Amino acid sequence: MNKIYKKLTSLGCVSLMVLCGCQEQIDEGARYTFVGNTVATYLQATPECSQFVEILTRGEVLGLMKAYGEYTCFAPTNTAIDAYLKEQHQLYLDYQDSIAANPNYKGEPVGIESASLDALSIENCWDIARNHILPVKLFKVDLNGNELPENNMNGRKLTLDITDGSDGKEAGVPLVNSNAMVLGDEEEVVNGVVFMVDAVINPSTELVSDQLVKYENFGIFATALEKTGYVEKLHLEEDKDYKLGNTQTAGFRDQLAYYPATKLYKFTIFVTPDNVLKQKGIDDFAQLEAKCKEWYPHGTPAWTYDEDENAWNPIEIDHSITDYTDPRHPVNQFVGYHILDREVSYANLVCHNITVNGNGKTYQSEKDFRSDADRTEYYATMNNRMLKVTKPLSSKVDAEKSKIYLNYAPDNAGQNILVTNPANLDDFNPLAANGAIQVIEDVLVYNEEIMKSSVLNCIMRFDASSLFSELTNNNVRLKIGRTSTEQAETVIPHDYCKNFKSNSDVTRLLYLSPHHEWHNYQGDEMIAYGHFDFEYRLPPVPAGTYEIRMGYTTNNVRCRALVYLDGEVTGLPVDVTMGGQDPEINWKYDNKTNNDNAKDVEELNGDAEQIAANDKDMKNRGFLKAPNTMMGSTFYNAPSAREVPIILRKVIATKYLSDGTHWLRFKSVDSKTDGEFMHDYFEIVPLTYLNNEGIPESDKRK
């Protein structure tokens, strides 16, 4: 009996392109189409897909492709599968040669014992089949951007490129996962869409840290990653003790809701290539260490995470430490600032050109924001420091608008470190089994002075769901992936997110997936339900005095909550039933022009002085209008969300935040059991920014 190895390795895009050659010519006359075809029956009637049909059958996926639903299937041709089998067999032969040359060889078994379809195990077939299927219906016009808009059925992201005409391939054709070129147009069937591709889609099975060390041009950073012990930290993949996956419970307004399907751990590594480091005078690890001691001086405050206490404790950087795994070592601090505890692909670094489909509803980010509004996300790194990622669409420099930067500030006041688009890099796969690699074009160092004075001296806005890496890693945030409207929400278990804690057994917290019928930042929202009492850990902003705000949308079925910051009540309860028209808020229209849903509320007729006076009056009452960079929803044909009276920002605290961990607590003060505490986003704004008279009022309204 043939011995089949469990692990099949990722195919390099160069080798597969060589095997497959130029674009394969499909015999259009050999395709059979008839009314009522499913994905399965279409493939069964297509001779050049016969081997893929066998893989679907042995992998027990063919039946699913006959079922009702919406799927996109990238079907590799027989030629593509033959090339894949030959390469996998060659990997097996290479492995055998390694063992013969060195009996102590420690590499894992790879490949298959023969280049035949029979050499694939049922498990291999299951994996291959699901790599080629997405649980969403995509047409060729949807194949744009840097990645497919939905994970495949193995939960893996797939990159998307457009061929440039090199390697003898036709130019302008979609290329999936760097190697599988789409052949011709799609075929629509009753339960989805089928594309023919010229290669097998085989995402990397490597962990993100192991994948990084394979690239020679990342050698210096890879050495630092290994010496600091972060390689082992990045080997986490899944919490096997999590048992609630895909179980149902009562959700929003007593509809059915699901718990997250998995609890996966994923990561993102920002890496500076060796050639860039050498331009900075860093030729090897020893020189990097010397530079780290300059960048992170002795005695500088830092943090270490206590997993048992789920808390960050203060430490000081110590140049006498020789153990690189000690967080007090400057190299450890350098490496930790390059890593996020969530997988973020290049296309999702900021909320730009993001489309979410499902449940009969659609969310498109470009309908939600002004076209000249910067897209920014704030991330806490693995060593508890803030990292800002920006696509500066408001820039006066046109060349900047199409790029993504780390720690950006206008007029080069920040670090403005460019993140390289992976589509511009040859032979590079940015997506690993448990994370992503982002290549940057400068040295990334946390500089407290630059961060406080420029990069973070702004309105820092955090979508509420962005506080929890677990929602990103487990396909909850900005994803729907369900087919019925009752399943468009996700219940967050009490012990699921490290930045969330519940103080009550009856607390119910839900994530509601994005669509345009709401008036929400990034389309989605968080809802606490009933008699709740919960806390969120705030992001690690530098020490200083801040105004902390909450953004939300009001309606009369919502409720009130008392807010605490670090255990102290911040003021009167936040009442999310009270709209802008309430006399206690004194909201007024700037201008009703082009607002079809303007209500009988006073209009300021665009008078700048009156608008400023009304803003000041609202602020004295503790309220602000919505940001002028957000658009009104489909219900309000308004020039911005600022002209929608049910969208508000509430100042919930103005306080000095010391270095360290801070918790924001929300406790229901209503007697009703069905009260909804909707919270959309939070803002943390330095008083140095608000008190700067040189900053235009229009900027402070963003």
Per-residue model confidence as pLDDT tens digits over 55-102: 999 999 999 999 988 899 999 999 999 999 999 999 899 889 888 888
Are residues 672 and 630 part of one domain? yes
Q: What is the pLDDT of residue 428?
A: 86
Last residue of a domain, which of 456, 489, 517?
456
> What confidence category does residue 19 fall into, taking pLDDT thresholds of 50, 70 and 90?
very low
Structure tokens at 185: 């147009």
Q: What is the pLDDT of residue 14?
A: 33
> What confidence category does residue 639 fall into, taking pLDDT thresholds of 50, 70 and 90?
confident
| pLDDT at position 29 over 50 | no
CA dihedral 85→86→90→91, nearest 10 degrees, is -30
Are residues 441 and 473 part of one domain? no
395 located within any domain: yes
Closest CA to 555 of 645, 681, 666, 628: 645
474 located within any domain: yes
Are residues 667 and 582 part of one domain? yes
Q: How would you label 92-104 residue by residue, b for 16+ Cβ within 10 Å and e otherwise? A: beebeeeeeeeee
Q: What is the pLDDT of residue 636?
A: 67
Q: Give backbone dihedrals phi and psi of 183, rounded to 5 degrees, phi first.
A: -105, 110
Tell me which of 66 and 151 has the higher pLDDT. 66
Are residues 479 and 418 part of one domain? no
Per-residue model confidence as pLDDT tens digits over 454-482: 999 999 999 999 999 999 999 899 875 44
Q: What is the DSSP string of 333-383?
A: HHHHTTEESS---GGGSSSSS-EEEETTEEEEGGGTB-TT--EEEEEEBTT
| pLDDT at position 423 over 60 | yes
> What confidence category does residue 642 fall into, taking pLDDT thresholds of 50, 70 and 90?
very high
Are residues 526 and 388 part of one domain? no
Are residues 308 and 426 part of one domain? yes
334 located within any domain: yes
CA angle 17, 20, 26 (to 5 degrees): 130
The tally of domains found in the chain comes to 3
Q: What is the DSSP string of 576-628?
A: TT--TTSTTT---BS--TT-TT--SS-B-TT-HHHHHHHHHHHHHTTEEEPPT
Calpha distance 148→292 (Å, rounded): 38
| pLDDT at position 12 over 50 | no
Closest CA to 410 of 424, 422, 392, 423: 392
> What confidence category does residue 17 fall into, taking pLDDT thresholds of 50, 70 and 90?
very low
570 located within any domain: yes
Structure tokens at 596: 């079809």
Are residues 539 and 607 part of one domain? yes
> What is the bridge-based pairing of β-strands 663-668 and 301-306?
unpaired
492 located within any domain: yes
Q: What is the pLDDT of residue 16?
A: 33
Are residues 562 and 473 part of one domain? yes
> What confidence category does residue 359 fall into, taking pLDDT thresholds of 50, 70 and 90?
low
- In the chain, the amino acid numbered 554 is T
CA dihedral 492→498→503→506, nearest 10 degrees, is 10
Are residues 354 and 213 part of one domain? yes
> What confidence category does residue 530 fall into, taking pLDDT thresholds of 50, 70 and 90?
confident
Are residues 188 and 214 part of one domain? no
Q: What is the pLDDT of residue 192?
A: 94
Calpha distance 445→660 (Å, rounded): 20
**Tokens 């500089």, located at residue:** 447
pTM here is: 0.89
Query: What value does the mean pLDDT take over residues 549-571?
Result: 96
388 located within any domain: yes
Check the CA dihedral 685-686-687-692 and report its sign: negative
* Average pLDDT of the residues of the chain: 89
Are residues 539 and 425 part of one domain? no
Report which secondary-structure segment, H or E, holds 435. strand 435-439
Query: What value does the mean pLDDT take over residues 543-568?
Result: 96
Q: What is the pLDDT of residue 164?
A: 75
CATH number of the domain that 143 lies in? 2.30.180.10
Calpha distance 651→618 (Å, rounded): 10
> What confidence category does residue 289 fall into, taking pLDDT thresholds of 50, 70 and 90?
very high
> What confidence category does residue 3 fall into, taking pLDDT thresholds of 50, 70 and 90?
very low
Per-residue model confidence as pLDDT tens digits over 296-327: 999 999 999 998 888 999 999 999 999 999 99
Are residues 644 and 499 part of one domain? yes
| pLDDT at position 213 over 60 | yes
| pLDDT at position 105 over 80 | no
Query: What value does the mean pLDDT take over residues 630-647?
Result: 81
The answer to whether the beta carbons of residues 39 and 73 sit under 8 Å apart is yes
Q: What is the pLDDT of residue 594?
A: 67
Percent of the chain topping pLDDT 70: 92
Q: Give backbone dihedrals phi and psi of 659, rounded to 5 degrees, phi first.
A: -60, 130
**Strands, sheet with 431-432, edge to edge from the N-terminal-most edge strand:** 339-340, 267-271, 435-439, 431-432
Query: What value does the mean pLDDT take over residues 377-396?
Result: 97
> What is the bridge-based pairing of β-strands 525-529 and 676-679?
antiparallel
Q: What is the pLDDT of residue 6?
A: 32
**How far from the centroid of its chain's Cα atoms is residue 8's Cα?**
27
555 located within any domain: yes
Q: What is the pLDDT of residue 586?
A: 95
- In the chain, the amino acid numbered 399 is A
Q: What is the pLDDT of residue 480?
A: 54
Please name the residue ranges forming H helices in 36-121. 39-44, 50-58, 78-101
Tell me which of 22 and 397 has the higher pLDDT. 397
Q: Which of 101-115, 291-305, 333-347, 598-612 has the lowest mean pLDDT?
A: 101-115
The answer to whether the beta carbons of residues 132 and 201 sit under 8 Å apart is yes
102 located within any domain: yes
Query: What value does the mean pLDDT take over residues 136-149?
Result: 84
Last residue of a domain, which of 426, 456, 486?
456
Structure letter (DSSP) for residue 216 = G
CATH number of the domain that 554 lies in? 2.60.120.260
| pLDDT at position 238 over 70 | yes
Last residue of a domain, which of 423, 456, 489?
456
Q: What is the pLDDT of residue 143?
A: 87
Structure letter (DSSP) for residue 110 = -
Calpha distance 171→367 (Å, rounded): 31
Give the residue numbers spanning the domain of 399.
207-235+266-456
> What is the bridge-based pairing of β-strands 355-358 and 339-340?
unpaired
